């Protein structure tokens, strides 16, 4: 009986993962499903956008935001950071508002559709996309640097 229960659980877990859209480098990424933007600040078009998936319970989240903000500043307008959280605005706005800038924007996705569509399974996680919305890099946000970006986009 335990074996059948475990098999059923694994089957449903696998089905949930199979619905998540795979991200392939060089291919278009799914559209973001943002319900609301913090302080109604929407990102403008830019040559590169880094989509950062965030949850306040992840201790590395703040460190990745600090690093991404510094990276965007060094890129001098060529890179915008879009932070997407599935948490409600009331819970995390006070944590994320200090990061808002001309380079960093915060979108709320309480339904979690963007997390699901991008297949996010760990945090910090992000995807670097070009102006045509194609994935150039993805992984642990603490590993993306200006040098990496320059190398990827040459």
Q: What is the pTM of this model?
A: 0.84
The total number of structural domains that make up the chain:
1
139: nearest Cα among 51, 63, 65: 51
- Indicate the pLDDT class of residue 21, thresholds 50, 70 and 90: very low
Sole residue written with tokens 């995807």: 127
Q: Say if residue 135's pLDDT is above 70.
A: yes
Q: State the sign of the Cα–Cα–Cα–Cα dihedral 88, 90, 92, 98.
A: positive
Q: What is the mean predicted confidence (pLDDT) over 128-143?
A: 94
Residue-wise pLDDT for 61-74, tens only, equals 888 999 999 999 99
pLDDT score recorded for residue 19: 37
CATH classification at residue 63: 3.40.30.10
Of all residues in the chain, what percent carry a pLDDT higher than 90? 72
Q: Which residues form the domain of 43?
A: 2-153
- Indicate the pLDDT class of residue 18, thresholds 50, 70 and 90: very low
How far apart CA 134 and CA 44 sit, in angstroms, is 17
pLDDT score recorded for residue 61: 87
How far apart CA 92 and CA 83 sit, in angstroms, is 12
**Are 65 and 115 contacting, i.e. CB atoms less than 8 angstroms apart?**
no
Q: Say if residue 2's pLDDT is above 70.
A: no
Q: Which residues contact 60 (CB under 8 A, 6 or more apart)?
A: 123, 124, 141, 142
How far apart CA 57 and CA 92 sit, in angstroms, is 10
pLDDT score recorded for residue 36: 95
What mean pLDDT value characterizes the chain?
86
**Are 67 and 141 contacting, i.e. CB atoms less than 8 angstroms apart?**
yes
First to last CA, the chain: 56
């Amino acid at each position: 009986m335990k074996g059948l229960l475990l098999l059923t659980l694994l089957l449903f877990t696998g089905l949930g993962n199979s619905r998540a859209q795979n991200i392939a480098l060089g291919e278009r990424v799914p559209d973001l499903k943002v319900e609301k933007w913090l302080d109604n600040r929407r990102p403008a078009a830019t040559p590169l956008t880094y989509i950062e998936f965030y949850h306040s319970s992840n201790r590395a989240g703040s460190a990745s935001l600090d690093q991404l903000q510094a990276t965007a500043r060094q890129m001098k307008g060529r890179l915008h950071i879009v932070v997407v959280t599935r948490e409600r605005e009331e819970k995390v706005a006070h944590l994320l508002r200090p990061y808002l800038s001309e380079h960093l924007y915060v979108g709320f996705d309480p339904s979690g559709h963007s997390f699901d569509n991008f297949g996010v399974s760990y945090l910090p996680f992000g995807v670097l996309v070009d102006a045509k919305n194609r994935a150039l890099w993805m992984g642990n946000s603490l590993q993306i640097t200006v040098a990496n970006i320059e190398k990827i986009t040459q």
